[in-house]
Amino acid sequence: MRASRFEVKDDQPVSWSVFYKLLPYLSEFKQRVALAILCLVFAKIASVALPFTLKYIVDSLNDPATITPLLLAPIGLVVAYGGFRFLNVILGEVRDTLFGRVTERAMRRLGLEVFDHLHRLDLRFHLSRQTGGLSRDIDRGTNGISFLMRFMVFNIGPTLLEITFVVGILFTQYGAKFALIILCSVITYVFFSMKATDWRTRYVREVNQADSQTNTRAVDSLLNYETVKYFNAEAHESQLYDSNLARWEKARRQNRLSLFALNGGQALIIASAMTSMLLLSAIEVQDGTMTIGDFVLINAFTMQIFMPLNFLGFVYREIRGALANIENLFTLLKTPVGVQDKPHATPINISRGEIRIEQVNFHYDPKRPILQDVSFTVPAGAKVAIVGPSGSGKSTLAKLLFRFYDPSSGQIIIDDQNIKDHLQLSLRSNIGMVPQDTVLFNDTLRSNIHYGDIAADDVALQQAIEMAQLTDFVAQLPDGLDTTVGERGLKLSGGEKQRVAIARTILKNPPIVIFDEATSSLDSHSEQGILTALNALAQQHTAIVIAHRLSTIQDADKIIVLQDGQIAEQGTHTELLALDAVYASLWLAQQKA
């Protein structure tokens, strides 16, 4: 199974330009950002003041001249130490609180933008997507914003600021050798951590890739639960799922071993730096050039710097991962929209519902044409049926009418308006669809029917239910319209799902209605009842009926017969039988069956 199409390659450098792309999403709360950064600076000043306070406490306790019965000097310093410690913590909490809202709003805005963009992408993209992997990409990308902001603003930034303060203080107070040891150690530590993390990044990505594949396999298998049962494929599905888990397990093991190497190298650098600093300061204390308080201060500074750096490997790796995941979202946002409205497109105005298909050609692949020079007219208020063998292009015509795709050439005219010149939203609001394969939301029956017109009142809803012959079915349900239909409507039969689709199209009440094999899942009794409702609906609308059962379209005003993407013949039922050609042979075959 393929990995997510947006997975970053192992040798692909992560773009640090993500920070610039995120700036517009962070600009909504400029004052909060400025205040958070101010808290960060003051918190680090308080943090740097702690070792100095500790030095003076030790020196005052070590100097008999400062020891008074009330220990006023040490007590004052201890109180100051506690104050600085509290200030450091509370300013950090205020900073986190201030910046938290900025991060959450950025996550919300980017997540919504990606969601909207996915709905704008054409059907071609959605037919090739992997829902489970794509879902993980979106989750990791939006969560990556939170991680990136938290660690860049609250970990890396403050640590670099503190290192600058400490190196400056050591250089001015204790000479270049102490500052040089710290500076060289930090540079070595950072260089090693970045190189080692880059080396092990591919193992992290393999874990993510295996995780996405495993999730995709699980989602795909569970969505096709009935198919698995039909073919006794539980063992096969388990084997495929386990093979994905095995890749995940191997990737996790390699990731863990590489982490051991990273942590071991970091520990060696930290131990060497601290030993060098303490050894040098101990010698100077022994020589009398430094006090014990200075020794404590240098030890405190060294620990204070390396404690946050101890997580640098983890932070750097996660930041790289977060950058890659966020870049995935921006890559997704850059995915071109195949069917777009023109810059000055206007709403379409459909009053009569006349449809003209004029020399339409369409292909997914130039080597395999789907429709070839198709031309016909659907008069306003007429019922026109489109029939033909499987793969002849019947359903493709419906998708072109909805502008899920645009024709390779030719045009579609509705009420003397080229649909490409008008807004897709207004076009689709004027066309209703009863599809062959009805997919419902995992929500209540009421919500699924209401989807046809969310603003419709209960009276209109009940009328749609009655016309779709759903009244008796709803009455039998313990929870009635509040019954949850399950994921993709799995709790309903095929016929029940189609009646729901018919009900919500009736509720939408558009001037043009398309029935794509609308009665294919119904028994004969239900079919006749619904055909009556559909015929009543068709009499008030322009109707295109894509049919396999020819018995359901005998009363059509015109029947278009497609064969190999071309119009083979057209006419009424009686006229086509008289031709004794393609339609007649299809009719005869179905009558024998």
Look at residue 360 in the predicted model and tell me its pLDDT: 93
User: Domain boundary residue among 333, 366, 390?
Assistant: 333
Look at residue 10 in the predicted model and tell me its pLDDT: 45
Residues 269 and 388 in one domain: no
Reported as a single tens digit per residue, the pLDDT across 221-263 is: 888 888 888 888 888 888 888 888 888 888 888 888 888 888 8
Confidence of residue 567 (pLDDT cuts 50, 70, 90): very high
Count of domains for the chain = 2
Q: DSSP labels for 135-199?
A: HHHHHHHHHHHHHHHHHIIIIIHHHHHHHHHHHHHHHHHH-HHHHHHHHHHHHHHHHHHHHHHHH
Q: DSSP labels for 347-380?
A: ----SS--EEEEEEEEEEETTEEEEEEEEEEE-T
Tokens of 554: 């005998």
- Indicate whether 432 pLDDT > 70: yes
Look at residue 564 in the predicted model and tell me its pLDDT: 87
Q: Which position has the token pair 């313990």?
A: 478
Residues 148 and 274 in one domain: yes
What percentage of the chain has pLDDT greater than the value 90? 11
Residues 143 and 180 in one domain: yes
Q: Which of 537, 541, 511, 515 is nearest to 350 (CA)?
A: 511
3-state secondary structure (DSSP) of residue 422 = strand
- Could you give the CA distance from residue 222 to residue 293 in angstroms, rounded to a whole number? 66
| Position 68 in a domain | yes
Tokens of 552: 């359901």
Residues 148 and 292 in one domain: yes
- Could you give the CA distance from residue 86 to residue 514 in angstroms, rounded to a whole number? 69
Residue 47, C-beta contacts closer than 8 angstroms, at least 6 positions apart: 84, 88, 162, 304
Reported as a single tens digit per residue, the pLDDT across 133-142 is: 677 777 777 7
- Indicate whether 559 pLDDT > 90: yes
| Position 364 in a domain | yes
Q: Which of 382, 381, 378, 383 is nearest to 401 (CA)?
A: 378
- Indicate whether 7 pLDDT > 50: no
User: Domain boundary residue among 279, 309, 333?
Assistant: 333
Higher-scoring residue by pLDDT: 521, 220: 220
- Indicate whether 372 pLDDT > 50: yes
- Indicate whether 538 pLDDT > 70: no
- Could you give the CA distance from residue 582 to residue 563 in angstroms, rounded to a whole number? 8
- Could you give the CA distance from residue 201 to residue 209 in angstroms, rounded to a whole number? 12
Look at residue 4 in the predicted model and tell me its pLDDT: 41
- Indicate whether 103 pLDDT > 90: no
| Mean pLDDT across 204-217 | 82
Whole-model pTM: value is 0.62
- Indicate whether 364 pLDDT > 90: no
Higher-scoring residue by pLDDT: 226, 71: 226
Reported as a single tens digit per residue, the pLDDT across 434-473 is: 887 777 888 888 888 888 888 888 898 898 888 887 888 8
- Indicate whether 531 pLDDT > 70: no
Higher-scoring residue by pLDDT: 322, 186: 186
Look at residue 73 in the predicted model and tell me its pLDDT: 58
Confidence of residue 480 (pLDDT cuts 50, 70, 90): confident
- Indicate whether 418 pLDDT > 90: yes
Cβ-based neighbour number of residue 538 at 10 Å: 22
Confidence of residue 358 (pLDDT cuts 50, 70, 90): very high
| Mean pLDDT across 380-397 | 86
Higher-scoring residue by pLDDT: 460, 129: 460
| Position 518 in a domain | no
| Position 485 in a domain | no
The conformational region for residue 564 under phi > 0 = left, psi -120 to 50 = alpha, else beta, is left
- Indicate whether 112 pLDDT > 50: yes
Residues 29 and 133 in one domain: yes
Look at residue 384 in the predicted model and tell me its pLDDT: 92
Residues 218 and 352 in one domain: no
| Position 530 in a domain | no
Look at residue 373 in the predicted model and tell me its pLDDT: 92
- Indicate whether 68 pLDDT > 60: no
CA dihedral 52, 57, 63, 65 (to 10 degrees): 110
Average pLDDT, the chain: 81
- Indicate whether 328 pLDDT > 70: yes
Look at residue 463 in the predicted model and tell me its pLDDT: 87
- Indicate whether 361 pLDDT > 90: yes
| Mean pLDDT across 512-541 | 69
- Indicate whether 151 pLDDT > 80: no
User: Domain boundary residue among 280, 311, 333?
Assistant: 333
- Could you give the CA distance from residue 59 to residue 51 in angstroms, rounded to a whole number? 12
Identify whether the C-beta of residue 139 lies closer than 8 Å to the C-beta of residue 214. no
CATH number at residue 155: 1.20.1560.10
- Could you give the CA distance from residue 499 to residue 518 in angstroms, rounded to a whole number? 9
| Position 33 in a domain | yes
CATH number at residue 582: 3.40.50.300
Domain of residue 562 covers 341-430+553-593
- Could you give the CA distance from residue 90 to residue 73 in angstroms, rounded to a whole number? 26
Residues 70 and 120 in one domain: yes
Reported as a single tens digit per residue, the pLDDT across 275-310 is: 888 888 888 888 888 888 888 888 888 887 777 776
Q: What single-letter amino acid sits at 539?
A: Q
| Position 157 in a domain | yes
Look at residue 214 in the predicted model and tell me its pLDDT: 86
Residues 329 and 369 in one domain: no
- Could you give the CA distance from residue 316 to residue 266 in angstroms, rounded to a whole number? 13
Look at residue 79 in the predicted model and tell me its pLDDT: 81
| Mean pLDDT across 394-403 | 88
Confidence of residue 14 (pLDDT cuts 50, 70, 90): low
Look at residue 105 in the predicted model and tell me its pLDDT: 82
Residues 291 and 402 in one domain: no
Residues 287 and 176 in one domain: yes
Confidence of residue 552 (pLDDT cuts 50, 70, 90): confident
- Could you give the CA distance from residue 145 to residue 135 in angstroms, rounded to a whole number? 16
Residues 188 and 213 in one domain: yes
| Position 13 in a domain | no
Residues 322 and 345 in one domain: no
Look at residue 19 in the predicted model and tell me its pLDDT: 72
